[in-house]
Chains A and B, each alone.
Chain A
């Protein structure tokens, strides 16, 4: 990992198009500004981690026998509440 030290207001460039500027800092938090072309998506790491964890849980449907039953159960409840509305 490349480690750089920057002062407030200073910038790091990644390639020609990405600029990361240190806007504010205190003992526990750093505020960074990111300029990047629209082709680059920028997300907090936690978002990816949350989605990855959710996918791992969701994929259990492929080998968990109770899922089929649960789905029919949900489906029947949905149909029933739909019929009740009509």
Chain B
């Protein structure tokens, strides 16, 4: 299938690469289908591109890469809603925001996106733990560039 995106132009994706959300992202509940895009394989950033609205895309980062002590508690109910059979299938991402003035990059550690890579189901989960900030500043020293491998297990598409 072909999708038209503002950022990447027209991209061809296989239907099997579409990630489905039951609830959708908070504030974007009408959008339920996304595709995970990688960029040149080298940056720690991923793109979560809406299939239904080409102008909507989120930048994602592996939260464990920016906070090695990140320990989100995911309830059984959330896991069940994503039909998780094994924790091996679960990959977490944080939504990144780029602020221009002053220039900062933050990641949302309070509401990670949980993806079941096997079933291609995803949900944004609001953690009960209030200590995880919605805006966690990413600094040069805070990114572990190695902590990437697991995210590579999700079928994604190379961004043009």
Contacts and interface: CB of A to CB of B under 8 A. Distances in A.
Interface of A: 38-39, 41, 43, 47-48, 50-59, 61-63, 66-68, 70-72, 74-75, 77-82
Q: Which of A39, A59, A80 has the most CB of B within 10 A?
A: A59
Contact of A58 (B7, B96, B128): B96
| Category for how many chain B residues contact A | 35 or more
Contact of B134 (A51, A67, A79): A51
Contacts, number: 111
Interface of B: 5-7, 25-28, 39, 42-45, 47, 49-50, 54-59, 75-77, 95-100, 103, 105, 108, 110-111, 124, 126, 128, 130, 134-135, 138, 140-141, 143, 145
B27 A61 contact: no
A54 B43 contact: no
A41 B128 contact: yes
A51 B77 contact: no
A52 B26 CA distance: 5
Given A51-B111, A61-B57, A62-B56, A78 B143 contact: yes
A76 to B, nearest CB: 10
A71 to B, nearest CB: 6
B98 A48 contact: no
B57 to A, nearest CB: 3
